[in-house]
Amino acid sequence: MLAMGGRAPEFTLPDQDERNVSLSTLLRDGPLILYFYPADFTPGCTREACALRDLHGDILQAGLDIAGVSPQDPASHRAFREKYQLPFTLLSDVDKSVIRMYEVRGPLGFSVRRATYLIDQARYIRAAVLADFRIAEHQDFVHKAIAMSAGTTRTRRLRL
């Protein structure tokens, strides 16, 4: 895992529609929840994606965006998004280059560890969680990110 307080590496990956998307583009409108997951359509990853789908309105209301990264190709991501009505971007890292940059490769380089980062608009990592099979920890992390960002958004509005 990358350390909190460090800068998140810039990257560009194809999304579910085969459009290239960079980290800078994802950060354009506010901080980002960037989550890494092993595979589309697996029970744990489906449960995690659906939980994030159900929180999506709160995520956006807090001024955050969200994107998932896994090694499946764009066609798999597109089918996964459609089947589970996922409203956020899924990025395809087939060669695992970004997975390596973010230090979330599985044991012996196989698979991907379940990890979630909160990245601010200056690309600093403000919080992170690595919980592998403990999906509830990722949900708790997202709830905390929403609460933290919602408080920051309210503070910014009050200053204006």
CATH of the domain at 62: 3.40.30.10
Select which of 26, 45, 64, 145 is catalytic: 45
From residue 150, give the alpha-carbon distance in Å to each of 24, 62, 79, 129.
21, 4, 32, 19
Tokens of 19: 């459009």
Is 7 domain-assigned? no
Amino acid letter, 57: G
What pLDDT score does 155 carry? 36
What pLDDT score does 46 carry? 96
- Find the domain containing 114 and state its range: 12-159
Amino acid letter, 17: D
What pLDDT score does 138 carry? 78
Residue 115, SS3 per DSSP: strand
What pLDDT score does 151 carry? 61
Total number of domains constituting the chain: 1
Is 153 domain-assigned? yes
Catalytic annotation present for 45:
yes
What pLDDT score does 152 carry? 57
Q: Give CA–CA dist 117/73, Å, rounded.
A: 22
Q: How many CB atoms lie under 10 A from the CB of residue 149?
A: 22
pLDDT along the chain (160 residues), means of 10: 96 98 96 97 95 96 96 98 98 97 87 94 95 80 88 41
Is 54 domain-assigned? yes
pTM of the predicted protein model? 0.91
Is 25 domain-assigned? yes
Q: Give CA–CA dist 149/151, Å, rounded.
A: 5
Is 6 domain-assigned? no
DSSP-derived letter for residue 2 is P
Q: For tokens 């956006």, what's the residue?
A: 60
Is 4 domain-assigned? no
Is 94 domain-assigned? yes
